[in-house]
Amino acid sequence: MFFIIKKRSISIFFTGILFIGLSAGAYNLALHPAMKDWVEEKVVINKIDTDRKIVALTFDDGPELKNTAVLLDILKKHNAKATFFLMGAKAEKYPMLVKRIAAEGHEIGNHSYSHPDFNKKNKEAIINEITKTDEIIYKLTGQKPYLFRPPGGYLSYALVDYTKQNNLTIAYWTYQQDSKDWRTGVKASRIASHIVKHIQPGQIIILHDGCPNGLETAKAMDILIPKLRSEGYEFVTMSELIKSGNK
Ligand SMILES: [Zn+2]
C-alpha cells in the first residue's frame, strides 16, 4: 500500500514538472518573475497598442553569409523594412553584410556579442557583451543601437538596471508570433502561415536569419509580405513601431 501511494505521488510529481515545463514554453514571456512590471513600465517591449495595421519583422542571430544576403534581397524586392538583432561576433566576421543592412534602411539592434544566457552572467559580463557589440555596430554603420534583444529572452535585474541607465530598450517579441522558424526542417510555408494566422496590429514578429534553418525563414518572407500587405498590413522597423504606439 505504502509503495503504491509512493509510486502515485512520484507520478503526480513528474506530471507537475511536465506541466511547469510546458507552461514555461507556451508563456515564455513569464521567464522572469518581474517581466509583467517591466512590460508595464515599458522597459521591456513585446507589442504595441495600436489600431493601425503595422507590425515589425525582426531577425535574430545574424548576420549569416548566405541567409542574410538572400533575406536582404527578398526585403528589397518587396520594399519592406525590418529590424536585425545582430551578434557582435558575427558582425565582426561579416562586416559587409552589416553595412548593407544599414545602407538598405533597416534598423540594427544589439543581440550581445556571443549569445550567452544573461540570467547566468554577472553585471560586468553583461555590460561587456553589450558595449563590445555596440562599438562594432557603431564602427561599421555610424549608428548606436537603441534596442537590445536578450539572447534566448533571458532577463535579469542586472540587465534591466544597465539598460535603464543607458537609455536602451529591451526589445522582446509578441509571444503568439514565435513560429519557431529556427528549428531545422521547418518549411517557409509553415513559418508564413503561422504568422498570418496569428497576425494583429502592433505585433513584434521574431524570426531567425542567423540559424541553420535561416534560408527557409528568408523564403517565408516572399510568401508572408505580399499576403499581409493584401490584408492591409505595413512593415516598419521596431523603433518606428514603438514611436507610433498609443501612449
Ligand atoms: Zn538569439
More confident residue, 102 or 18: 102
List, for residues 61-82, the tens digit of each pLDDT value: 999 999 999 999 999 999 999 9
List, for residues 165-192, the tens digit of each pLDDT value: 999 999 999 999 999 999 999 999 999 9
Residue 9 CA to ligand 1 center (angstroms) comes to: 38
The CA distance from 107 to 59, in Å, is 10
Residue 188 CA to ligand 1 center (angstroms) comes to: 19
The CA distance from 32 to 204, in Å, is 19
Q: How many CB atoms lie within 10 A of CB 103?
A: 10
Please tell me whether residues 23 and 39 are part of one structural domain. no
Please tell me whether residues 180 and 209 are part of one structural domain. yes
Please tell me whether residues 127 and 221 are part of one structural domain. yes
List, for residues 157-166, the tens digit of each pLDDT value: 999 999 999 9
Q: Which residues, in sequence order, are CB contacts of 56 under 8 Å at separation 6+?
A: 82, 83, 203, 204, 205, 235, 236, 237, 238, 240, 241
Mean per-residue pLDDT of the chain: 90
The CA distance from 51 to 237, in Å, is 17
Q: Which residues, in sequence order, are CB contacts of 215 under 8 Å at separation 6+?
A: 66, 67, 70
Query: Quick check: is 51 catalytic?
Result: no
Position 31 scores a pLDDT of 74
Residue 203 CA to ligand 1 center (angstroms) comes to: 18
Query: Quick check: is 208 catalytic?
Result: yes
Residue 94 CA to ligand 1 center (angstroms) comes to: 17
Residue 82 CA to ligand 1 center (angstroms) comes to: 16
The CA distance from 193 to 179, in Å, is 9
- Residue labelled with grid coordinates 514554453: 25
Please tell me whether residues 12 and 65 are part of one structural domain. no
Q: How many CB atoms lie within 10 A of CB 209?
A: 30
More confident residue, 10 or 93: 93
The CA distance from 107 to 109, in Å, is 7
Residue 24 CA to ligand 1 center (angstroms) comes to: 18
Cell of 212: 541553420
* pTM of the predicted protein model: 0.88
The range of the structural domain enclosing residue 90 comes to 34-244
Position 119 scores a pLDDT of 87
CATH code: domain of residue 176:
3.20.20.370
Position 245 scores a pLDDT of 81
Please tell me whether residues 115 and 179 are part of one structural domain. yes
Report how many domains make up the chain. 2
List, for residues 122-141, the tens digit of each pLDDT value: 999 999 999 999 999 999 99
List, for residues 10-33, the tens digit of each pLDDT value: 444 444 444 444 333 444 545 799
DSSP at 132: H
The CA distance from 54 to 170, in Å, is 20
List, for residues 202-235, the tens digit of each pLDDT value: 999 999 999 999 999 999 999 999 999 999 999 9
Q: Which residues, in sequence order, are CB contacts of 11 under 8 Å at separation 6+?
A: none
Please tell me whether residues 153 and 171 are part of one structural domain. yes
Residue 241 CA to ligand 1 center (angstroms) comes to: 21
Cell of 209: 536569419
What's the mean pLDDT in 190-202? Answer: 98
Position 246 scores a pLDDT of 57
The CA distance from 64 to 85, in Å, is 12
CA–CA–CA angle 133, 137, 141 (5° rounding): 175
Cell of 20: 511547469
From 106, 115, 208, 209, active-site residue: 208
Residue 150 CA to ligand 1 center (angstroms) comes to: 7
Cα distances (angstroms) measured from residue 68 to each of 20, 51, 62, 100, 101: 36, 31, 7, 10, 9
Please tell me whether residues 74 and 16 are part of one structural domain. no
Please tell me whether residues 5 and 120 are part of one structural domain. no
Please tell me whether residues 165 and 212 are part of one structural domain. yes
End-to-end CA separation in angstroms for the chain: 62
